[in-house]
Amino acid sequence: MKAGYLKTNQSAKTARIHLATAVLCFSLFAVSVKTAWSAPKDDAKDFPKFNAFSAVVEDYFAGKKAYRPGDIISQGEVRDVFKKLKSMGWDVADQEEIRDLVLPDSSYMVVQLRTKRGRPFMSGLAKTPAAYDRLERFLRLPLSKREFQGLLDGPDGYKMFEYMVTAPGGIVLGQQLSNIKEGRDFNKPTGHIYTVEQLVKRLSESHATYVAALKAAEEN
């Protein structure tokens, strides 16, 4: 009876050892797979030049029916852009950060500029890219949305924001609006990405950083 018990106990102990060994081996395997998956696999000399990626970005927007150069872009479009870049072999590391610099599709500013009334206004606004910054800051002011609707109805409503960017009087006006809580830093850039040109510029910085990291990895 005792011998049988010892034999059974030994078998259970052996089984536990085998199980623990299997778990350890699996864990080590999982870690090695994860490491292999996350390790850079590109060579700096073989990785596509940025102009190959920028061409895809520009072609994507040019292919959109209502798009015109200088039009405002939105987060949904940028998500599609990142998918296209990934299919070319570049999974942009800071894509979430870049996407967050673009206004959401549901943003009041984006929605209004894409209406029938808003598109002519946007076309004029695009002549002075920094005017997008002023418009976004303007729309934060009390009662600004009501005023904005009136500007959309006028043939030259966009010139108000052009004036804010280019004319000395407009800059003074911005300084005065900065004294309002909602108008703080009115004359300063928001840091947002509004146009394809700005998106391409930001992506070029990410590409340069990625290529530099590949070169550094190869040297080490």
Which pTM was predicted?
0.80
pLDDT of 16 reads 47
Greater confidence (216 vs 83) lies with 83
pLDDT averaged over every residue in the chain: 85
pLDDT of 32 reads 36
Query: Per-domain residue ranges for the chain?
Result: 1-39, 50-219
pLDDT confidence of 28, banded at 50, 70, 90?
A: very low
Neighbours of 199 (CB within 10 A): 22
**Is the per-residue pLDDT at 18 higher than 50?**
no
pLDDT confidence of 129, banded at 50, 70, 90?
A: confident
| Rounded-to-10 torsion of CA 83, 84, 89, 91 | -30
pLDDT confidence of 34, banded at 50, 70, 90?
A: very low
Q: What is the pLDDT of residues 131-190, one digit of tens each?
A: 999 999 999 999 999 999 999 998 899 999 999 999 999 999 999 999 999 999 999 999
Q: What is the pLDDT of residues 74-89, one digit of tens each?
A: 999 999 999 999 999 9
Q: Average the pLDDT over 117-123 and give the result.
A: 96
**Is the per-residue pLDDT at 26 higher than 70?**
no
Q: What is the pLDDT of residues 90-117, one digit of tens each?
A: 999 999 999 999 999 999 999 999 999 9
